[in-house]
């Protein structure tokens, strides 16, 4: 972990993040982790992600996680002068990230086509719910809507076959990751050719790509099996916790039999192979459940680890933070966010080191400084303040908290 960003691949890259919520902000925040200078543009009411969940002094978990390290500018792009200010920043960016409905960025004066004419080297990232055109292009989209519409809920059926929402904001998060990867590819192309690119993707496309294997498997099988596809394969209660335990093939089942002192099962025709075990999984699971309940989790973890059985305790987030491997990897950093307190943060993996975490900006935290650095003179900045076009934290009272 270092505050020196010179070694990071995107050091010196200027990113203008005009997106809100999760997918766009996460894409831009990943670029920040990789060294970019990211300017976060918000309206006076702030990014809507600030107002979701538990809010402390204008920040939520969403706004902290997905905007940490960015510099904040507040511009009212509903006004002509606000659009002018936004355009000035856009014309100096290497990358622009936006996730509005199709046509909104154009109405704000920062659409791809008009900027490309002036900046052919610009990498422009557009994220939408369903794509730029087509019958669903203007349909409202959220993570829950997309989990239902893209098949994610179908993929996450419980044992009774009821589709269930995945418990994290998977549609948005996955789209942010795909967007960051595609943006990186576009930046590589720019480095090779000098030409920019319009990276355009949607939550719908990202969710489909995320399920590529399951969709292919469904096409081959003609149906989706409900529940696990091997036995044993479930969460078992121990005397003091829960363990996920499974066996995917005969070798793994033999390991489990040795760990549980159930060698007789190896001669039992009901458990001869996975098909037989699946047919008799209720018996198998009932026997294992009764046995696991007799001892605490630590006892079973030691036994299962000795035989290299596939298993893991079901951990809550505090237990994940205390995981020996998490501590070894330095998985969690801490961030002292003003108004919120000290919170854990997890960086995107893969660089062999990481940028030291920095706080998420308040609305308009750096407005005046960033406009000055963009070449806007002091008189113009003052005029925009007087007209209510821009907001600087601590100077104006229009910021919503």
Q: What's the rounded mean pLDDT across residues 63-92?
A: 97
Global confidence as pTM: 0.92
**Could you read off the pLDDT of 208-262 as tens digits, one per residue?**
999 999 999 889 988 766 677 899 999 999 999 999 999 999 999 999 999 999 9
Q: 97 — phi, psi (to 5°)?
A: -120, 125
Q: Residue 159's pLDDT band (boundaries 50, 70, 90)? A: confident
Task: Spell out the residues 6+ positions from residue 381 whose beta carbon is closer than 8 angstroms to its own.
Answer: 368, 371, 372, 390
The full set of domains in the chain, from first to last, is 14-213+331-391 (3.40.50.10540), 233-321 (3.30.1540.10)
Task: Spell out the residues 6+ positions from residue 202 whose beta carbon is closer than 8 angstroms to its own.
Answer: 127, 128, 129, 130, 131, 175
Q: Is 16 helix (H, G, I), strand (E, B) or coil?
A: strand
The closest of 293, 222, 288 to 253, measured between CA atoms, is: 288
Relative orientation angle of helices 170-193 and 203-210, to the nearest 10 degrees: 100
**Could you read off the pLDDT of 313-352 as tens digits, one per residue?**
999 999 999 999 999 999 999 999 999 999 999 999 988 7
**Could you read off the pLDDT of 270-303 as tens digits, one per residue?**
999 999 999 999 999 999 999 999 999 999 999 9
**Could you read off the pLDDT of 373-393 as tens digits, one per residue?**
999 999 999 999 999 999 999
Q: What share of the chain is helix, strand, coil (3-state, %, to 5)?
A: 40, 15, 40
How many angstroms separate the most distant Cα atoms in the chain? 87
172 vs 129: CA distance, rounded Å: 10
Q: What's the rounded mean pLDDT across residues 49-61?
A: 93
């Amino acid at each position: 972990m270092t505050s020196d960003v010179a070694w990071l691949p995107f050091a010196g890259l200027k990113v203008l993040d005009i997106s809100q919520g999760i997918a766009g902000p996460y894409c831009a925040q990943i670029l920040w982790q990789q060294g970019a200078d990211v300017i976060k543009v918000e309206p006076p009411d702030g990014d809507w992600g600030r107002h979701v969940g538990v809010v402390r002094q204008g920040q939520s978990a969403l706004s902290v996680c997905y905007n940490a390290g960015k510099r904040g500018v507040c511009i009212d792009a509903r006004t002509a002068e606000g659009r002018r200010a936004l355009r000035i920043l856009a014309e100096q960016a290497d990358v622009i990230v936006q996730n509005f409905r199709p046509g909104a960025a154009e109405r704000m004066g920062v659409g791809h086509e008009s900027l490309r004419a002036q900046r052919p080297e610009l990498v422009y990232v557009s994220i939408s719910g369903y794509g730029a055109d087509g019958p669903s292009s203007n349909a409202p989209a959220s993570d829950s809507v997309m989990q239902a519409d893209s098949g994610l809920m179908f993929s996450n059926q419980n044992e009774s076959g009821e589709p269930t929402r995945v418990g994290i904001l998977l549609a948005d998060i996955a789209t942010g990751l795909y967007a960051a990867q595609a943006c990186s590819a576009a930046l590589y192309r720019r480095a090779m050719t000098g030409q920019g690119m319009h990276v355009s993707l949607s939550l719908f496309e990202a969710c489909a790509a995320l399920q590529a294997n399951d969709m292919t498997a469904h096409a081959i099988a003609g149906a989706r099996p409900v529940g696990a596809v091997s036995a044993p394969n479930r969460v078992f209660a121990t005397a003091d916790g829960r363990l996920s335990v499974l066996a995917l093939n005969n070798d793994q089942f033999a390991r489990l039999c040795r760990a549980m002192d159930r060698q007789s099962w190896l001669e039992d025709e009901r458990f001869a192979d996975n098909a037989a075990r699946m047919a008799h999984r209720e018996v198998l699971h009932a026997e294992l459940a009764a046995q696991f309940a007799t001892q605490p989790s630590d006892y079973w973890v030691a036994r299962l680890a000795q035989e290299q059985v596939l298993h893991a305790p079901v951990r809550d987030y505090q237990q994940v933070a205390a995981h020996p491997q998490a501590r070894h990897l330095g998985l969690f950093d801490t961030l002292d966010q003003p108004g919120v307190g000290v919170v854990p943060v997890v960086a995107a993996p893969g660089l062999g080191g990481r940028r030291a975490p920095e706080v998420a900006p308040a609305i308009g935290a750096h407005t005046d400084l960033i406009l000055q650095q963009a070449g806007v003179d002091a008189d113009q900045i003052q005029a925009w303040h007087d007209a209510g076009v821009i907001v600087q934290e601590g100077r104006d009272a229009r910021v919503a908290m």
